[in-house]
Structure 1
């Protein structure tokens, strides 16, 4: 049977701009090598990757009543994601992403929606009740779903991205997570990062390490996996979400931590070789 995953978190409509190198902090002129617009946001990335991997996905998110919002919803619906769309008063989230050829990225938030009053809590609660896993991504509008997932007794999966071990914004998500993910941007020292994973208190805590693969702490042991080689990196957007999704689907299929890490690394490599999030 297909695993059923509930996701709460942000989606966006992004303008992706490829440059020879990320701009220095000084006034100057730069030329784009290429640019395009596409769906983005960590919850969209996870939803699209999970569907590709065979999961049944319900995504509760926030969009504006505008063309970017309609474009995002069309992509998600076309991929087979069931969307519970809360409509914000303002515009849909939008980013300007500057990307260099070696995987560097600067993401500039152009618009961030504010949800004043959710209208579909009952639909979200019903989707949570039948979910095998609840992915609650970083956003103020998804924060209340941490408690809802706990109340429904659904395992909570949280991706803290570049958490530095101290940020107050992340603490609710850290405390609620049964399965915890982050990258090494916030804590580049590997010994410190391993200690953070061990001390997190989650059933499994995973850190992705870019070209160095990933490591996970679970049941008192630390596991490591190498990155899967990629002949040509096309686009780094979504690679972390692909890793997360590969790990999650493998775990729900009964894989242990080492095999789930390998599944995550394989999914990330496929994403890196593609211009799309999944």
Structure 2
């Protein structure tokens, strides 16, 4: 097996986040699922956008957010995702490349347009996301560079993108390319609604030994395993997934890897401003530790530090020097 030339290559939704603070009452008025992520069509997206107050446009997408954090930590990264030939597509491509992340997926036509996520943030920092996937749900398998996947130490897959058929086929091809090259495959479950739709698929990937690192929060783990107790859920995956990582919000995070267990507390912060991207940046820290050969506890701590930074401000992209921050916190 040749030495990898990239630390992490990810496949995910290429989306621009449109974020605005709002009162709790607006969530109820619009009939939104508070704290959740709902897929919307183009007409619904327009209605929600019109109801928003002053907003910020920030390139997002779960896997892309994770890569942004990894790149700031010093990892070499590449992204695969579909944008359209439009203004938001240009915004996304510029942002991800300016972060030092390789992005060579061919641009799609102007229609359907580049995806966007309309995020309403209530005073308690909770985010309610409404996603119009647009062009991102039409990522074809032909857009993949099998050699680039084979040259990466870890292939990271975003569960959200498993929902549409075309990118699901692309991710299956990517898994085969990574496994044929002897690389690791990491998968984030993303959301309970995704698990509810594709539980059989996800369990098949797990049972076939195709997932090496699985990321979930407590609710997602329960949805996948059918077990409400977090520790029982973890135990049910023992022997099937080499490394399982579970985030628990204010209770920190825990992981089981090759018979080892570790648990860390959440990093203290003054105030939770916006929880958008907390899981994404946790994955950044954990994967950075993983590709650098750090211990399981150190990987969890790195994830916790990165997640704490992201929830201290609006937006799912870091606003500080993450490398300096983790060095200050844990000497990494």
TM-score by length of 2: 0.74
- 1:93 paired to 2:121: no
Q: 2:76 corresponds to which residue? A: 56
Q: How does 1:18-57 map to 2 (within 5 A)?
A: 18-21=21-24, 23-26=26-29, 34-57=54-77
Q: 2:143 corresponds to which residue? A: 120
- 1:273 paired to 2:308: no
Q: 2:39 corresponds to which residue? A: none
Whole-Å separation in 1 of the counterparts to 2:194 and 2:69: 27
Mapped contact 2:7–2:291 kept (Cα < 8 A): no
Whole-Å separation in 1 of the counterparts to 2:16 and 2:83: 10
Q: 2:214 corresponds to which residue? A: 180
Alpha-carbon displacement from aligned partner over 1:24-69 (angstroms, at most 9, x marks no partner): 54569xx867521111110110110010010000111111111111
Given candidates 181, 184, 191, the residue that maps to 1:162 is 191
Indicate the SS of the match to 1:150: helix
Whole-Å separation in 2 of the counterparts to 1:54 and 1:131: 15
Q: 1:68 corresponds to which residue? A: 88
Given candidates 181, 191, 210, the residue that maps to 1:152 is 181
Q: 1:46 to 1:101 in 2, by over 3 A?
A: same
Q: 1:191 to 1:117 in 2, by over 3 A?
A: closer
Q: 1:165 to 1:34 in 2, by over 3 A?
A: closer
Indicate the SS of the match to 2:82: strand
Q: Tell me the CA shift for residue 164 of structure 1.
A: 7.4
- 1:107 paired to 2:146: no
Whole-Å separation in 2 of the counterparts to 1:242 and 1:48: 8
Unpaired segments of 5 or more residues in structure 2?
32-50, 319-332
Q: 1:210 corresponds to which residue? A: 249
Whole-Å separation in 2 of the counterparts to 1:170 and 1:190: 14
Whole-Å separation in 1 of the counterparts to 2:149 and 2:85: 25
Q: 1:223 corresponds to which residue? A: 262
Q: Please, what is the CA RMSD of the aligned residues?
A: 2.8
Q: 2:326 corresponds to which residue? A: none
Mapped contact 2:6–2:151 kept (Cα < 8 A): no
Q: Tell me the CA shift for residue 230 of structure 1.
A: 1.0
Q: Tell me the CA shift for residue 149 of structure 1.
A: 1.8
More helix by share: 2
Unpaired segments of 5 or more residues in structure 1?
none
How many residue pairs get matched?
275
Mapped contact 1:198–1:220 kept (Cα < 8 A): no
Q: 1:17 to 1:27 in 2, by over 3 A?
A: closer
Q: Which moved more, 1:195-204 or 1:153-162?
A: 195-204
